[in-house]
Amino acid sequence: MKIRMNDNYRLLEKNYLFSEVARRVACYREAHPEARVLRLSVGDVTLPLPTVVTRAMAAAVEEMASEETFRGYAPEAGYDFLLEAIRSYYLRFGVELATSEIFASDGAKSDVANLSELFGQNLVAIPDPVYPVYLDSNRMLGREVVFVPATEENDYLPGPVALEDALGHAVEGAIIYLCSPNNPTGAVYGRAGLAAWVDFARATGSLIIFDSAYEAFITGDFPHSIFEIEGAEECAIEVASLSKTAGFTGTRCSWTVVPEGLEAEGLSLNEMWLRRQTTKFNGVPYVVQRGAEAALSDEGIAECRELVAYYRENAQIIASTLEERGVAFTGGTQSPYLWLTCPGGLGSWEFFDLLLEKAQVVGTPGAGFGSFGEGHFRLTSFGSRETTIEACERLRCIL
Ligand code: PLP
């Protein structure tokens, strides 16, 4: 063919992190068909959907079977009933939103990646380590990226000074990604930490893209939403998801909050995102939106808390195994992830291969989340209790 290609793709790692993990596991399985491989790797949930959700979805399926109640294309930003449910959910954190600021979607992954379409060539600041989609989606568009190190020294919670240090000069008009609770480190920003970012963004004319995918795992007095911080509505967009909160990884429902007042170069970000979504997205299926509405009801939230409590107990089981074996780690309390330092100074892919070979346990190499993740490793608490216990027994033997 003689077509021109997007050269930015050449800058990407050959495989997306979790595809590479899956590829290595598949190779191992092929060579050892008898092995029972246990996964504490991809951040996918294992418990079924809350009953209140499946009931609501079953009722919605019935509606689709009748001519009077059948629904076709959904409104691109979501049905009013769901937008209202999301609005009420935020009121629990003391955040008042207008439904016009909420855009229901089929995943935080796609939203967080698609948002970069709205911007021109700005400096993009990405914590390191973090969810790889922020980097890859910006690389695909040829954006200049600065990595903000999240290390033991700053408790994995870098502030604006870390960004300025990494850049070596003052920041102006940057797009800053924040993920709290963080994937993979499990670190969560307190109010003061987030307020520092909000003040910085306002002072430098920057925009924060805040990913709160793991908000449901917060137990202490930490902000669940960046909009709990004064002034955030002037400088932040928030992406949230029911994937980890309500077990929606295979059902797909999320939302993005774009405050009405956000504006740059005479363009409203809210209007642009609406324009983008109405052009390129045809809405979350009706049945799923009814399920999401149910997940955000009082009954749904209570059931979701049970799911989260189950995963939290798994995290405790993993944490006590690591403590017992003297492996340094962080996370696992406000997030489903445990972030450990690879024992014996091993590199993270070396440790990945070792665990797979010796224990048939799969985790995620820290280096896949950024260069500051090298020498670290992520284990998830999203497995079944049985898998978690067995994996920990195996870890005990080899660590
Ligand atoms: N944001 C973070 C930080 C994640 O870790 C994930 C999934 O692992 C997502 C977003 C994706 O969420 P969704 O399933 O809604 O696309």
To test ligand 1's pocket by mutation, which of 44, 109, 136, 218 has the most ligand atoms within 8 angstroms of CB? 109
Cα 321 vs. chain centroid, distance in angstroms? 26
DSSP states along 322-386:
HHHTT--EEESSSSSEEEEEPGGG--HHHHHHHHHHHH-EE-EEGGGG-GGGTTEEEEES-S-HH
pLDDT of 42 reads 80
Residue 249 beta carbon below 6 angstroms from any ligand 1 atom: yes
Residue 181 beta carbon below 6 angstroms from any ligand 1 atom: no
Tell me which residue has its CA closest to atom 8 in ligand 1. 43
Residue 213 Cα to ligand 1 middle (Å): 6
Tell me which residue has its CA closest to atom 11 in ligand 1. 109
- Measured distance CA(286)–CA(71) in Å, rounded: 7
pLDDT of 282 reads 95
Residue 137 Cα to ligand 1 middle (Å): 14
Residue 294 Cα to ligand 1 middle (Å): 21
pLDDT of 41 reads 85
Contact 52, 59 (CB under 8 A): no
Residue 110 Cα to ligand 1 middle (Å): 9
Residue 109 Cα to ligand 1 middle (Å): 5
Residue 333 beta carbon below 6 angstroms from any ligand 1 atom: no
Residue 243 beta carbon below 6 angstroms from any ligand 1 atom: yes
Residue 255 beta carbon below 6 angstroms from any ligand 1 atom: no
Residues of the chain whose pLDDT is less than 50?
Answer: none
pLDDT of 226 reads 98
* pLDDT tens digits, one per residue of 13-47: 877 788 889 999 999 999 999 999 999 988 899 99
Domain boundaries, the chain: 7-48+301-398, 52-299
Q: Report which ligand 1 atom has the smallest distance to the Cα of 44.
A: 8
DSSP structural state of residue 345: G
CATH topology of domain 7-48+301-398: Aspartate Aminotransferase, domain 1 (3.90.1150)
Residue with tokens 């695909």: 140
Q: Report which ligand 1 atom has the smallest distance to the Cα of 131.
A: 3
The number of residues in the chain equals 399
Question: Under CATH, which architecture does the 52-299 domain have?
Answer: 3-Layer(aba) Sandwich (3.40)
Q: What are the distances in angstroms from CA 106 to CA 52, 111, 254, 314? A: 20, 8, 6, 28
pLDDT of 14 reads 79
What φ, ψ does residue 125 adopt, rounded to 5°? Answer: -105, 125
Residue 106 Cα to ligand 1 middle (Å): 11
* pLDDT tens digits, one per residue of 252-311: 999 999 999 999 999 999 999 999 999 999 999 999 999 999 999 999 999 999 999 999
